[in-house]
Amino acid sequence: MMSDINGRVSIRFLDVGDTEDMLNLMLRNRELFEGVSPARNESYYTREVQAKSIENGVRQKEEDKRYAFGIFLNATGQLIGDISLFEVQRGPHQKCILGYSMDQAHNGKGYMSEAIQLVMKFAFEEVGLLRVEAGVMPRNVGSMRVLEKAGFQREGLARKLLEINGVREDHVVFAMLAEDYLGK
C-alpha cells in the first residue's frame, strides 16, 4: 500500500479479493464512466469479467505492461476509484499512459490529485519511466484540472483519438516527464 504521511488516500495493486468492490464501483458509476470510456458490453458488469480484468492486471504487472491500482480511503479502507499506468513502452520510449476513474460520490475532494501523486512516485522512482501521458476529452474540465494540478503539462490536441459511445472523440494530450516530477 502506498500513501503519503498526511494523505487521505492510498493506492495498492488490485487483486482478485477486490472483485466485488470493483464490480460495485463500476455499477454505481456506470452512467458516468460510460460517458468518458470506450464502449463496454453488458458482460463487463459481471463478477466474472471484473475478476478476469483484475487477473489480467496482475499478469500484465508481472510482464511490465500495465500497473493497475485501486484507490482506497485511508479512514475507511473503501475502494473509491482506480488508477493505472498502461501501454508501458520500454526501450527508447520509457513511457506509458495514465488512466483513472473516481466514484462520483468522491469527486471534487482532491482524492484523485493525491492518487496521481502516489502513482507518479511509483512511475518515476520505482519503475524508472521517463514520461507519463494522459488524454482527456475537452469537455471533461474537471479531469483536465486534476492533471494540471498534479503538474502535467498540456501538449496539444489529438483529433479523433478514441471512440466513445460510437463517436470518435478529440482528446487534449497531457504529459509529465520524470524531470518535471523530480524537479518539484
CATH of the domain at 54: 3.40.630.30
pLDDT-based confidence at residue 4 (cuts at 50, 70, 90): confident
What is the tally of structural domains in the chain? 1
Using the predicted structure, report yes or no on whether residue 105 has a pLDDT greater than 90.
Answer: yes
Span of 1-5, 14-18, 115-119, 132-136 with lowest mean pLDDT: 1-5
pLDDT at residue 182, rounded to an integer: 87
Residue with more model confidence, 35 or 43: 43
- Using CA atoms, how far apart are residues 146 and 141, in angstroms rounded to an integer? 9
Q: Pick the closest to residue 181 from 147, 152, 145 (CA basis).
A: 152
Residue 108 is placed in which grid cell? 471534487
Each residue of 86-100: pLDDT tens digit? 999 999 999 999 999
The yes-or-no verdict on residue 184 having pLDDT over 70 is: no
Q: The whole model's pTM is what?
A: 0.93
Residue 1 above 80 pLDDT? no
- Which residues constitute the domain of residue 113? 2-182
